[in-house]
Each structure stands twice: as C-alpha cells, then as structure tokens.
Structure 1
Amino acid sequence: MIKGIFRKSVLATALFGTTAIFSAVAIAGQAPESASAKDIPISSHDRVYLSDQSSNTVSVFDPATESLLGVIRLGDPTPGNLSPLYKGQLLVHGMGFSPDHATLDVVSIGSNSVTFIDTATNRVKHTTYVGRSPHEAFFTPDGKEVWVTIRGEDYIQVLDGKTYEPTKKIMVPNGPGMTIFSPDGKYGYVVSSFTPDMVVIDTKSHKIVGHVKQASPFSPDLAATPDGGQVWLTLKDIGKTQVINAHPPFNTLAVLDTGPITNHVNIARNANGQFAYVTVGGLNEVKVFTTTDKPKLVATIPVGALPHGLWPSGDGTRIYVGLENGNGVAIIDTLNNKVTGTVASGQSPQGMVYVPNAVPVGAGTENLLPLANVGSAIKLTMGPSGSQQVSTTVSINNQGLLDLMQVAVTGIEPKKPYMLALSTQPDGAGSLEPLAKFVGNPAGAAIISTLGPLRKAVDKDLPADATQRRYLVIAKLTSEGKPEEVVQVQH
C-alpha cells in the first residue's frame, strides 16, 4: 500500500551517478499548483484518472490501495462507433481538472467534445462540443475559464468555468496541441503540433505576448514547474524535449535528446528537489532530469510498453505513468525512481491526471463499471530477425467483433516507407498480407493502427502448425510501394 509522506523540513542528499542534489528546506507544491501550495499526502480520497482511447472509457484508480475501482464508459468500442455518433464519445484522449478538484474534464478527439465529470460521483454532468479534433483542455488557475486546444484548427476555444459554454476564441498558430498555465495564472503557454511556434498568452487580455521557436513542428505536451521558472515541452517527431524560460523573453534554455516517441512531461517535487519526468514511448522508459538552467539526466526508469501520460501525486512521492500499449498504469516512487507496481486499465491510455481529495467523503465508486473486456488485449513485441532486441511493441485490443491493433515502431530509417504485414512464416519469408503502410518519422519511429479479426491470427499461444497461424512483420518498401527486405519480425 502507498503511504503519504509529508515532511515539514528535511536535509536530504540524493545521489544519481555522479550528480548530487541537496535540499535543506521542505519541497512542497505539485504541478499544476505553485511551489507555495501545501503538499497533500496520498489517501483514498485521491483519484488517478486515465483516458482510454481505444475503449472510449476513463479508468479510475485509488492510489492509496493501488487498485482500479472501475471505468466510466463514455462511448462504444469499434465497430459500433463507426456508425453516426448520435450519442457517446469517440477517441477519449485529453484530461484536466478544476482548481477545486471537483470536476474532471475529458477531451474526445473523434467526437469533438469536452466531457465534464463530477469527481465525487463519477457522473457526467455536461458535454460541450467544440471545433475539429480538440486535444487537451485545462482550467485556468482561478477556475473561471477552460481553455480547449483545437488541434484540427487554429484557435483555443475558451469555455466558461461554471456553465462550460463557449465564450470566445483565441487565435493561435495552426494546430495547437496543449495549454498549460503558469502557477500564478498570469500566462497560458500553448504549443503547436503542426507549426514550430509556441505562443505565450496573457490570461487576462487573451493576447499573445510572446513567441518561442519550437525545435520541431510537433509538440503534443508541456508542463510548467511549480517554482514558476521553466516550461518543458516535448517534441514527439524528433525525440527531443525543449526547456524554456517561463518569463520574458521566454528564451530557450536547453534542447535535450530524450528518445523516439517522446510523449509527455511533468514535474514532481519531493525531498530530493524538483525534477522533470519525460515519457519516452519508443524506449519504454521514463527519463528524469534536474530542472536547473542546464538540466542533467539523473535516472532512466524502465516502465512498460509505450508510456504516454504521467502525473505526480499530491505530495510528489509518486508519479503515475499510463502505458499506452501495456493497458495499465505504472507507479514510480520518486524518492528512489523505481517502479513499485503496475495496475491494469482500459485500452490505450493517453492522458493522465492525479486529483488529490477528489472524493472528500464516501467511497466514490458510484457510476463505475467493471473493467471486463475493456481491458482485454494481446501484447506482443517485435525486433530484428534473429535477435531478441525489442524495437517495437504491439497491443491488439479486443473490440468485441473486431480487434484494434496499435504498433509503436522504432529502429527504422527516418522518412523511409515501410509496411506492417502478416506472414505464414516466422521470418517473414514468402508472400506478405499487408495491414498498413507508413513512413518513419525524423527520429526513426512511427505509431500505426489497423483494424480487423487479428487476435486469432497472431496469438502467440496458437500452435506453430495451425493453418490460421500468422506472424507480424515489418518490411521495407521500394519506391514503387512493393515489399522488399523484412527488417523486424514478431518475437
């Protein structure tokens, strides 16, 4: 069981390789709060939420018992969601919560919606429909507004923080990915997923007051340090993380090589100091950095298949990591940077938030459904032929009549064409049945999805001589789009 840790004063030394970090005062205040906020010890009043994109659910965890309490169903699995969506949500993805911790907001990309959920009862209390492909939504620190990044267009949709109705649009560079606010509420920092231009917005005037050149066009996520000094943004396409000064002139302090499919970043503060945690999906790791002007890598933590969203506990002693291809949440003890456990979740978790005191009284299990088939999946790995090196993770999610396969590929050539296919032979010899074509990103990685009756074909428990047995392979394509060399096979 996780126990909360709250120290009023501490003299701690943490040694990571050759780097030593010293702290002589209490470290308090967890993201997205300011450093002056009080730490909140972990308890069963708190909740961890994951947005499950493939099952269209929200997984709800009790961090004190490290257990899944159930899921909130917002939509149907495939193929039911391929018909007109008169009700229900599709591609449940982004998350945020109100400053009073009473309301969870959940963004669904496919149905262009923001769903507002009462954290005490798990009841959907409102749904607001917005523009094309929203990605993330966060309340301003004063709770008066909700800013929704409309990634499929070029603006932030501002909603009223109480009625959840649209009030105005803030025009920004094309493809805004996410907004996070400075702890004092003065600035909103907005990264772009299509344009190498991050903007800083004054929250009172809604005017752009600063620009930062992103090191690449594709940033999906960012975090502000509780001490108010820095903003960290991930660059998924090139496998880097950029650190900027949170104050004018908003200059870049560092660009760090973090690894292929660099996903999300968040900040945890504990007795050892203040640290940035970055999920690196292509390496199945979380990397930990100091938040000094010249950040240093202090830990690399193996966590499981395709880590995506992450969030610290209210006291900073734990950080929770959603495993997109692992259908679960990994729990990291931030004092020693070790994984203490993993708990199953819904399918393909994306966003993640930790909400302290989400359930002030009662059990908080109303309106929750059991995981059941929502968590059912086959998990595989792939790599170079003749090697057990894991370059690619695969999750085949049970959707009932069909299966939704997601493949996180690394170890390929940037900007070269490839094909995911089925073969009757483990080494990929003979003719191939194509499943999807794709191109490696600048970091030599890709995330691809395909749909079909796939479980029975590639299940590793099938006998090798079964007539229906197939093996996943990845093959290079010629300029004419024909398969040539097989570069990765199913383990």
Structure 2
Amino acid sequence: MKMKTIALAVILNLVGLITAAQSPYAHDRVYTGNQVSNTVSVVDPSTNKLLGEIKLGKPYPNVLSPLYKGQALVHGLRYSQEKKILAVVSIGSNAVTLISTETNQILKTIYVGRSPHEPTFTPDSKQIWVSVRGEAYISVIDVEKMAEIRRVPVADGPGMVSFTPDGKLAYICSSFTPEVDIVDAATYTIVKKIPVTSPFSPNIFTSPKGEWIAMTHKDTGKVTIINTASQSVAKVITTGAITNHVSFSYVKNKLMMLVTVGGENKLRVFDAAQDFKQTDTVNIGALPHGLWPSTDGKLLYVGLEFADQVQAVDLQTMKIISTIQIGQSPQALVYAENAVTNINAKSGLSALNDTASTQVIALNAVNTNQKSHGRIAVRSIGLADLVEQIFTSLQPNISYTLALSRSDKAPFSSDYQINTFDTDANGKYMGQSTGLVKTINSVDSQSFRHVILTDTKTGNVVLSDQL
C-alpha cells in the first residue's frame, strides 16, 4: 500500500509539472515596485499566485537612519526580454538596480541624479534611459557596461521616456513642465517640443505599432494622445481624478487604450479606431496605479497602491479574475514575457512579511450635493501609523484638517488632528503623515469613532467616513 501511495504521489507531481509547463504564461512573471516595503513583488500569471519578494531595502520608516544602505522609495520598473533583466528605480536613494529575472539576484546598482522616476530600455535593449525627475536630464545607462554613459538635457522634471518601435525617437514627458520633448536617439538632441495641457505627466506609453503615444496628466485627470506621424497632439481626454498610468493592447483584434484612474478606483478602456471613445469601465480596488497587459491581449494586471494588491483582469470579459496580496504600496507594474526558463525556480525570493493589513477608509461629502471625496490608507509602522491621503473635488487653495472624532454621530467633534494641508488650484491634495501613536493596552486609543475632514478656518465638517 505504501509503494502505491508513493507511486500515486509521483504521478500527481508529474501531471502538475506537465500542466504548468503547458500554461501559456508559465514562463512569464508580473513585477511590482513597492514604495513603502521597498521590495519587488514577483507574481506567477499562470497561477496568479505571489511567488515572493525581492528585498531591496527595509520598510519605511527604517530608511531614515544616517547609516542606512538599502534602497528607498522603490518605484519604477521596466523589463528587457532579450536580456532577461529587470530595471528598478528607487526614487529616495537615486538608484537604478538591475536584477536577473532568472535568478532574482541583483546584478548591479547604478546611482544617478536626484529623484529618478522611471527606466525605459531602448528597443534593442542596449541602453536604459532613466528620467531623472529631480533634475532636468535623462541618464543613459549602457546595459552591457552597467554604467551611466551620458546625460541628455531635457525640460525640467522629466517623468518618463517612451520610444518609437524603431528606436529612432524618444518621447519624454515632464512632471514639472507642460511639454513633451522628442529626442533623436542617435544624436541625443531634442528635435521638437510639443506643448501639452498640464505640467504633471508621470507616465507615457507607445502603442504596439507606434502610431500613437499616450501620456497621463495626474494633476488634471486627463490623457493626451499624440499622433507620431504628425508629431502633434491628436486628442485630449478627460479620464478622472488621479489618472495614473496608461497602456495599449490589442483586445479581440482591436487596439485599446487602458488607463488607471486612482481617485475613482476605475480602469477605463478606449477604442483607438473610434477616435478613442470609451467602451468599458472596470471597477478596481483601492487606488489603481501601474498596469500592464499580457502579450496576447487577454489579461491585464493592475497594482493597487492603497490595498497592497495586484488584480488580474480578463480583457475578453472585462472582469476581475484574481486578487493577489503583495508588498506595500505598489507603484509601477510590468508584465514580463518569458522571464524565466525554470518555471519552478524561487531562488532569491523572500516570503511576504507584511503581516499587518492596510486599512483603507473612504470619506464622503457631508453635503450630498457636493462631489468632494477622500480616501486614506493606514499602515502600521511600529508604534505609529503611516497615513497616506488623497482628496479630490475640494475647494481650491483652502486649508483642511484631517482628524479623528470620538462622536458617535453628527455633529462630529475634532478630537485628534492627523494632518493639516492646503489643496492645490484644482481642489486636490495627495500626501502622507504619521500619527495615531499607539499605547500598549490603552483604552483611550480605542475610543475614536470616526474620521473627519474639516475646514481649518471654520471648523465645519466637510467629509466623514462610512464606518
């Protein structure tokens, strides 16, 4: 009987291996750059399971020591299938880390200028162009040498680079300047500047055949679409508050533009053939940020910045098919085709150790006639909490106070102030603060009933939670 049991176990294992090998996604991987845990999460799209984490540093706030040597604010990502290399940008430590997708091992860390944002491989994978957003240039890294070889001057605050498929031109958006710079990749010179609708563009992407380039405007909730043939703006679409990332994919043989709208927890889908008419909206989890489709156009993966999750969307049905817990505060996300040869290899990966789940709290307008809205994510960081905040459709250039209230119902008292901030010209605010200091066995710390937002000047409650 024992021999039969062993034989059956061997057969089942072989069947499992064969099934995994037959999956069209078994050799692919999905990666996210996690800004609070300072890790890269690795997901297997054939099973939609987290394989583990690549640790690049310690979780926030352990990065604040003067002796800290790890990476901080892990954020930007890009993958080269030819080299099987993942490029990871850490904003806070000015680093570009090159990682082997076969082994999950760090190959080299290259330090560049202040506050880099996103890396982009040239189509031939010979170079990586890194947008150094804290300055006014692109850092060009030679992949073979694993070293910076040139700096290309561009408009202040470059957000990201996207190449035409032939690699001849680089389109560079800016996070501080309302323009796109077109750079000749052979001469490293700007050949044209295109004015755009707003100065804050963190993300830019080229369609598969290169006829369109789309860029997001996070500050105004829009997407600009550029016709590469005329090198001019073809269309500007209003997409919604906190428009984060944009991508393209052929879905059922139609070219679709895919956009994450963080302030509304939406994935919006636009048909390029219908003059970019919106055709679908998918309700996504808390604060969708990075996104990337599978190569066959059947799946889309979306990182949820506040939920610490990745969601897989079936692009054929526009339905969420899986939700995967990952590291804290995912930013960029990439789908890496043929990233590994050995589909069972897990070397270099650590288990997810973010044991405390993030609490996401929505705040809605007290006056139902107003569209004001807020969302906070509360993350445990030892004896305190990190409170990340997004507010939209408030009054512009007004001071507000986020607070806790002990009141069970309205009118709410403001009993513990978390943060005071000023909205921008569009009535938005994005930021973070620490607070909610915990005291062991403290009954008092459990007595708060609601989260509220008040007008700092008048003290009137503008938003309240739905707890």
TM-score, normalised by the number of residues in structure 1: 0.85
- Give, as a single letter, the amino acid of the residue that structure 2 aligns with 1:327: D
Partner residue, 1:275:
256
- Of 7, 11, 35, 1:53 maps to 35
Aligned-partner Cα distance in 2 for 1:231–1:378: 36
Partner residue, 1:151:
133
Aligned-partner Cα distance in 2 for 1:484–1:330: 39
Partner residue, 2:220:
238
CA contact (8 A) 2:292 2:333 kept: yes
Q: Please say which of residues 418-427 and 142-151 is displaced more in the overlay.
A: 418-427
Partner residue, 1:393:
375
Q: 1:51 to 1:85 in 2, by over 3 A?
A: farther
After superposition, the C-alpha distances for 1:165-202 in whole angstroms (9 at most, x for unaligned) are 11111000100000111112111110000010110111
Partner residue, 2:105:
123
Partner residue, 2:295:
314
Partner residue, 1:438:
421
After superposition, the C-alpha distances for 1:386-441 in whole angstroms (9 at most, x for unaligned) are 87x99322221223343222122223223332222222225473344322222334
- Of 412, 415, 418, 1:429 maps to 412
- Give, as a single letter, the amino acid of the residue that structure 2 aligns with 1:472: V
- Give, as a single letter, the amino acid of the residue that structure 1 aligns with 2:208: P
Aligned-partner Cα distance in 2 for 1:372–1:67: 15
Q: 1:431 to 1:283 in 2, by over 3 A?
A: closer
- Give, as a single letter, the amino acid of the residue that structure 2 aligns with 1:359: V
* Residue correspondence of structure 1 range 168-179 to structure 2 within 5 A: 168-179=150-161
Aligned-partner Cα distance in 1 for 2:266–2:411: 29
Measured after TM superposition, the shift of residue 312 of structure 1 is 0.6
Q: 1:284 to 1:149 in 2, by over 3 A?
A: same
Measured after TM superposition, the shift of residue 453 of structure 1 is 4.2
Aligned-partner Cα distance in 1 for 2:40–2:402: 30
1:349 corresponds to 2:324: no
Aligned-partner Cα distance in 1 for 2:273–2:402: 42
Partner residue, 1:163:
145
Partner residue, 1:486:
461
CA contact (8 A) 1:436 1:448 kept: no
Secondary structure of the equivalent of 2:214? strand
Measured after TM superposition, the shift of residue 473 of structure 1 is 1.5
Structure 1: give runs of 5+ residues left out of the alignment: 1-39
After superposition, the C-alpha distances for 1:280-305 in whole angstroms (9 at most, x for unaligned) are 00100010011237210000110111
Q: 1:41 to 1:223 in 2, by over 3 A?
A: farther
Secondary structure of the equivalent of 2:70? coil
Q: 1:243 to 1:442 in 2, by over 3 A?
A: farther
Q: 1:125 to 1:430 in 2, by over 3 A?
A: same
Secondary structure of the equivalent of 2:125? coil
Aligned-partner Cα distance in 2 for 1:197–1:373: 40
Partner residue, 1:185:
167
- Of 87, 90, 107, 2:89 maps to 107
Aligned-partner Cα distance in 2 for 1:286–1:456: 40
CA RMSD of aligned residues (A): 2.4
CA contact (8 A) 1:55 1:399 kept: no
Aligned-partner Cα distance in 1 for 2:411–2:62: 33
Partner residue, 1:91:
73
Q: 1:272 to 1:416 in 2, by over 3 A?
A: farther
Specify the structure having the higher radius of gyration (Cα): 2
- Give, as a single letter, the amino acid of the residue that structure 1 aligns with 2:453: I
Aligned-partner Cα distance in 2 for 1:412–1:431: 19
Q: Please say which of residues 51-60 and 288-297 is displaced more in the overlay.
A: 288-297
Aligned-partner Cα distance in 2 for 1:57–1:385: 38
Structure 2: give runs of 5+ residues left out of the alignment: 1-21
1:471 corresponds to 2:434: no
After superposition, the C-alpha distances for 1:341-368 in whole angstroms (9 at most, x for unaligned) are 2111111100000001101124231111
Aligned-partner Cα distance in 2 for 1:448–1:428: 27
Instruction: State, as a whole percentage, how many aligned pairs show the same letter.
Output: 40
- Give, as a single letter, the amino acid of the residue that structure 2 aligns with 1:474: L
Secondary structure of the equivalent of 2:63? helix
Secondary structure of the equivalent of 1:292? helix
Q: Please say which of residues 340-349 and 369-378 is displaced more in the overlay.
A: 369-378
CA contact (8 A) 2:83 2:125 kept: no
CA contact (8 A) 1:345 1:375 kept: no
Q: Please say which of residues 438-447 and 302-311 is displaced more in the overlay.
A: 438-447
CA contact (8 A) 2:379 2:385 kept: yes
Aligned-partner Cα distance in 1 for 2:141–2:446: 56
CA contact (8 A) 1:235 1:262 kept: yes
Measured after TM superposition, the shift of residue 374 of structure 1 is 5.9
- Give, as a single letter, the amino acid of the residue that structure 2 aligns with 1:215: T
Aligned-partner Cα distance in 2 for 1:393–1:101: 40
- Give, as a single letter, the amino acid of the residue that structure 2 aligns with 1:369: S
Higher relative contact order (CA 8 A, sep 6+): 1
Measured after TM superposition, the shift of residue 456 of structure 1 is 8.3
CA contact (8 A) 1:41 1:314 kept: no
Q: 1:130 to 1:428 in 2, by over 3 A?
A: farther
Partner residue, 2:430:
447
Q: 1:98 to 1:490 in 2, by over 3 A?
A: same
- Give, as a single letter, the amino acid of the residue that structure 1 aligns with 2:170: G
